[in-house]
């Protein structure tokens, strides 16, 4: 029998709150984290707004914070969320804690702390539209901290976490775009199931709110350009949706083997019951129009969880607010859950916090755990006009009380990566 994996700690840094309690309260209060971009001058960009993390006091969260002065925003968010999750779990206080059986698996992307400084060096070294490589190299060597180059690597958050929390077990990072942190949770679950670790710190962190990130998504016509009303821009499944809102942040979970958790009397939020992962094998930036990979991954997660469709009480949708994604995800939910899809509440919390890219799935997994715990489902805000192609129950604009025992969390990434997690209440 495969070993069971439960969640014993959670942490989050997001545009609607810098700890899990605030994030959950904000979701149930329908608070919105979208506003004008402040990280750089976006006045000439087609999209001038994003969902930024605000009022985040990193130094108050992390002892010896000065050692991370050159760390990217991704690492800073990851460290803050991880500190909350580790403290919440309390496993390090247990006499039986073995660092060699504790690992890290993240789905973390970039977080370029020095992007504007880097671009200024490029500009200074440019003459007549071309970069003088020697001039640039000399300026880079003289004026940039040597740690900067290493901080560009997406594995750096995982490296920092292992150092801070003495995680001597497996240490990995995957970057499968918007599916990354959900995939990390699924793969970390498999590590514990097969006996290679007893505890895993898993989740994701990302910050793409910089000129390159915003302009790239604008060129893909993926971002909303509703500059006259940023707070209503993210409107998943609504007929008038016109793109997603870029966000940033981190979500972290402590995954623990059940008997290990029980032996130390741990508080248990719920269980990672099922995991499915597939590829569309289609186009790089488009989901398969019939939801082929997404349907397969939902069915795979159900089979792994050994539950039937009717046991799913809630779907936390990927729900980006792009026209194609929401339409195809609706098809995928119906393909994965059959007729039960029409009886299952669905919502997208991206309507409030924007799209955290690699970090999105982890924060949404935490949402599922809290929905199960408290018997209340977060809404999809800004839902005004139904779309005939999106014909499910999207919990519009207000939270809904509902006792559920299992939830499906979907994450679909650029490149055709699909991940589904089944998260359930813990039953001994």
Rounded to whole angstroms, how far apart are CA atoms 148 and 152? Answer: 7
Q: Does residue 240 sit in helix, strand or coil?
A: coil
Which DSSP symbol is given to 3?
Answer: P
Burial degree of 284 (CB within 10 A; 0-12, 13-18, 19+): exposed
Q: Is-catalytic flag, 355?
A: yes
Q: Is-catalytic flag, 368?
A: no
Integer CA distances (angstroms), 125 to 112, 116, 128, 263, 406, in order: 20, 14, 10, 61, 56
Integer CA distances (angstroms), 312 to 22, 32, 297, 331, 355, in order: 26, 28, 15, 17, 24
Catalytic residue among 206, 297, 355, 390: 355
**Residues ≥6 apart with Cβ < 8 Å to 228:** none
Q: Does residue 131 sit in helix, strand or coil?
A: strand
In what order do the strands lie in the sheet containing 406-413? Answer: 171-173, 102-108, 199-207, 248-257, 5-13, 270-279, 417-424, 406-413, 314-316, 346-347
Q: Is-catalytic flag, 288?
A: no
* Closest-CA residue to 224 (of 108, 63, 368, 382): 382
Catalytic residue among 206, 318, 368, 390: 318
Rounded to whole angstroms, how far apart are CA atoms 392 and 330? Answer: 7
**Cβ–Cβ < 8 Å for 113, 151:** yes
Catalytic residue among 178, 297, 368, 390: 178
Rounded to whole angstroms, how far apart are CA atoms 354 and 337? Answer: 26
* Closest-CA residue to 423 (of 83, 109, 4): 4
Provide the annotated active-site residues.
178, 318, 355
């Amino acid at each position: 029998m495969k070993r069971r994996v439960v969640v014993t700690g959670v942490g989050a840094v997001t545009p609607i709150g810098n700890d899990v309690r605030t994030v959950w309260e904000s979701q149930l209060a329908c608070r919105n984290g979208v506003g004008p971009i402040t990280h750089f001058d976006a006045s000439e960009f087609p999209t001038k707004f994003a969902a930024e993390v605000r009022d985040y006091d990193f130094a108050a969260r992390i002892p010896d914070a000065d050692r991370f002065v050159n760390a990217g925003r991704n690492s800073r968010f990851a460290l803050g969320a991880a500190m909350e999750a580790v403290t919440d779990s309390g496993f390090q206080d247990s006499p039986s804690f073995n660092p060699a059986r504790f690992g890290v698996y993240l789905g973390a992307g970039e977080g370029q702390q020095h992007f504007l400084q880097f671009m200024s060096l490029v500009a200074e070294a440019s003459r007549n539209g071309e970069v003088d490589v020697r001039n640039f190299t000399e300026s880079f060597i003289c004026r940039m901290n040597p740690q900067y180059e290493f901080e560009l690597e997406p594995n750096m958050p995982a490296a920092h976490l292992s150092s801070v929390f003495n995680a001597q077990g497996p240490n990995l990072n995957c970057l499968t775009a918007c599916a990354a942190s959900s995939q990390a949770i699924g793969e970390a679950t498999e590590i514990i199931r097969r006996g290679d670790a007893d505890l895993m710190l898993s989740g994701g962190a990302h910050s793409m709110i910089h000129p390159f990130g915003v302009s790239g998504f604008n060129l893909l016509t993926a971002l909303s350009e509703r500059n006259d009303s940023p707070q209503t821009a993210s409107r998943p499944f609504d007929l008038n949706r016109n793109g997603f809102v870029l966000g940033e942040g981190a979500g972290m979970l402590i995954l623990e083997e059940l008997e290990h958790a029980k032996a130390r009397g741990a508080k248990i939020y719920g269980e990672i019951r099922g995991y499915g992962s597939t590829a569309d094998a289609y186009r790089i930036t488009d989901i398969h129009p019939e939801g082929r990979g997404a349907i397969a991954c939902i069915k795979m997660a159900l089979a792994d969880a050994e539950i039937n469709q009717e046991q799913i009480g809630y779907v936390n949708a990927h729900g980006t607010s792009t026209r194609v994604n929401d339409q195809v995800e609706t098809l995928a939910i119906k393909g994965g859950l059959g007729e039960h899809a029409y009886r299952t509440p669905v919502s997208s919390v991206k309507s409030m916090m924007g799209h955290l890219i690699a970090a999105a799935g982890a924060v949404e997994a935490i949402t599922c755990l809290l929905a199960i715990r408290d018997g209340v489902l977060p809404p999809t805000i800004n839902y005004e006009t139904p779309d005939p192609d999106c014909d499910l129950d999207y919990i519009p604009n207000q939270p809904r009380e509902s006792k559920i025992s299992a939830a499906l969390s979907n994450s679909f990434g650029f490149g055709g990566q699909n991940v589904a997690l089944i998260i359930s209440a813990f039953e001994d």
